[in-house]
């Protein structure tokens, strides 16, 4: 089964991105855009939980949606050297789900405390005929805290472990697994609905220089590395994959498709010219890290044999 079989055509999705690009102003980074305001640089970034929210609703775990809503944004903006300072949310639900909304707010409250972000407002809507279930989206305002450096041939690639599939690929995952089934010695709910990892501390590594650049492995998975590497190539060997990622392939998702949809256990990839320092600093910050590859002078990005141009 491929992502398009679950209703998501990545090629058409990229066409939408190209259509939207004509609207954009400001300065562009790998993940977000920013403007100069006074003596600072500020980014405004939006992302949502997607169809993971439907499974969280079914499982009674909507606090996770509030948490994820913030950290999918935090993890994007830190890659461009920004530290989030404020957020607003948008929660839309179908009629009859009014009681499902407060747990989302509780999850967002906990995430905001963790990230030291002020929630300044939001929009809550009950939308018959438009929303089927619940949709959770956040927007963050972030201030420049570090300046990522351009990767160079020979740099090392350090993988930061994910907590699970994070908030990507759930239109497909919901067709491969059932929430209550046994999976990897636990349940599919426990394994697949784990909250998104917090990589906010990576901005400190960028500021200190223990990391030169960072790539958040989200929608499009390892294709995101090309945003950071530009014309450079790379070769990565992830090693042992987490059980859930192996199971995705066993259940009929072609291996190449899996690496284009899911993070395969790696939520972020750091670029560094000092791998030992990066590993030590990541450990100090509570991040599980390992060296998985090197930057090459040219060519594609190759991850476990899967090629990304």
Domain 156-162+197-308 has CATH 3.90.650.10: yes
Instruction: Give the residues across from 23 on adjacent strands.
Output: none
User: Could you give the CA distance from residue 81 to residue 143 in angstroms, rounded to a whole number?
Assistant: 8
Q: Phi and psi (nearest 5°) for 288?
A: -85, 120
Nearest to 157 by CA among 271, 20, 246, 53: 271
From the CB of residue 97, how many other CB atoms can be counted at a distance below 10 Å?
Answer: 15
Burial class of 16 by CB neighbour count within 10 A (0 to 12, 13 to 18, 19+): exposed
Q: Phi and psi (nearest 5°) for 208?
A: -75, -25
User: Could you give the CA distance from residue 54 to residue 193 in angstroms, rounded to a whole number?
Assistant: 11
Q: How far is CA 40 from CA 58, 75, 140, 202, 251, in A?
A: 43, 20, 16, 20, 49
Contact (Cβ atoms closer than 8 angstroms) between residue 79 and residue 213: yes
The reply to whether 33-144 and 156-162+197-308 are identical in fold is no
Task: Return the CATH class of domain 33-144.
Answer: alpha beta
pTM for the model: 0.94
SS3 for 234-249 is EEECCCCCCHHHHHHH
Contact (Cβ atoms closer than 8 angstroms) between residue 211 and residue 228: no
Q: Is residue 64 helix, strand or coil?
A: helix
Task: Give me the residue spans of the domains in the chain.
Answer: 33-144, 156-162+197-308
Render each residue's pLDDT in the chain as its tens digit; 309 residues.
Answer: 675 665 676 677 678 767 777 788 899 999 999 999 999 999 999 999 999 999 999 999 999 999 999 999 999 999 999 999 999 999 999 999 999 999 999 999 999 999 999 999 999 999 999 999 999 999 999 999 999 999 999 999 999 999 999 999 999 999 999 988 999 999 999 999 999 999 999 999 999 999 999 999 998 889 999 999 999 999 999 999 999 999 999 999 999 999 999 999 999 999 999 999 999 999 999 999 999 999 999 999 999 999 998
């Amino acid at each position: 089964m491929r992502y398009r079989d679950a209703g998501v055509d990545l090629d058409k999705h990229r066409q939408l991105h190209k259509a939207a690009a004509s609207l954009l102003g400001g300065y562009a980074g790998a993940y977000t855009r920013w403007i100069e305001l006074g003596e600072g640089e500020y980014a405004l970034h939006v992302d949502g939980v997607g169809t993971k929210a439907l499974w969280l609703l079914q499982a009674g775990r909507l606090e996770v949606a509030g948490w994820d809503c913030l950290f999918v944004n935090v993890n994007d903006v830190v890659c461009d050297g920004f530290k989030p300072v404020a957020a607003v949310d948008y929660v839309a639900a179908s009629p009859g789900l009014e009681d499902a909304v407060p747990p989302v707010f509780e999850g967002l409250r906990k995430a905001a405390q963790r990230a030291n972000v002020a929630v300044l407002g939001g929009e809550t809507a009950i939308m018959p005929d438009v929303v089927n279930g619940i949709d959770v989206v956040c927007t963050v305002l972030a201030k420049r805290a570090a300046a990522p450096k351009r990767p160079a041939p020979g740099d090392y690639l350090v993988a930061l472990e994910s907590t699970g599939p994070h908030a990507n690929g759930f239109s497909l995952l919901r067709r491969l697994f059932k929430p209550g089934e046994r999976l990897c010695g636990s349940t599919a709910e426990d394994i697949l609905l784990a909250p998104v990892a917090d990589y906010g501390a990576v901005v400190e590594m960028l500021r200190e220089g223990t990391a030169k650049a960072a790539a958040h492995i989200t929608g499009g998975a390892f294709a995101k590395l090309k945003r950071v590497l530009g014309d450079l190539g790379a070769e990565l060997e992830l090693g042992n994959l987490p059980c859930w990622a192996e199971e995705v392939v066993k259940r009929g998702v072609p291996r190449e498709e899996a690496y284009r949809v899911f993070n395969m256990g790696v939520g972020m990839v750091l670029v560094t010219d000092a791998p030992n320092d990066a590993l030590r600093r990541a450990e100090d910050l509570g991040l599980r890290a390992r060296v998985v590859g090197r930057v090459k002078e040219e060519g594609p990005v190759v991850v476990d044999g899967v090629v990304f141009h």
